[in-house]
Amino acid sequence: MSKKVAIIMGSDSDLPIVKGAITTLKGFGITIEVHVMSAHRTPEQVSTFASAARSNDFGVIIAAAGKAAHLAGVIAAHTTLPVIGIPCTSTSLDGLDALLSTVQMPKGIPVATVAIDGADNAGILAAQILSISDEKVAEKLEKMKNNMIKEILEKDERLQTEIWWKM
């Protein structure tokens, strides 16, 4: 059985974004836990959760936050598990502030960072990490990649039958 993935949001307002990771991970049959914790408002809870994550059978932690977006970094400072950051769009700087806060980590505290609001890719990356030791997840990833190839080739084939763009 695969390890679990924790999805931590800095605020419940991040849930619409995080749903992409939830759906993706469920599609791979990966057990998840979803929590709201704040690097700034509940730092002790974040530290406790991250410090115990490995012993609680987690394999990856996904952290989603907007604005200052220190959540992924604080989690990474308290665990040796892989941490994936999802910078979330905010009203002030369209997520650029969160992107920079998530990706600009000091040496020794890595955070893998996906695109702004890139929860689907965070879920896929977490699955890829777990697939190293879980053959069932690896097979599902292979099937997903093959389906993507098939879809693109079908779209190209349809495009080639249209002549309007060839004129």
Residue-by-residue pLDDT tens, the chain, 167 positions = 689 999 999 999 999 999 999 999 999 999 999 999 999 999 999 999 999 999 999 999 999 999 989 999 999 999 999 999 999 998 779 999 999 999 999 999 999 999 999 999 999 999 999 999 999 999 999 999 999 999 999 999 999 888 777 77
Among 132, 128, 134, 130, smallest CA distance to 114 is for 128
Sheet of 4-9: strand order equals 32-36, 4-9, 58-66, 83-88, 112-113
Local structure of residue 2 (DSSP, 8 states) = P
Q: What is the pLDDT of residue 1?
A: 65
Chain centroid offset of residue 130 CA: 13
Q: What is the pLDDT of residue 78?
A: 98
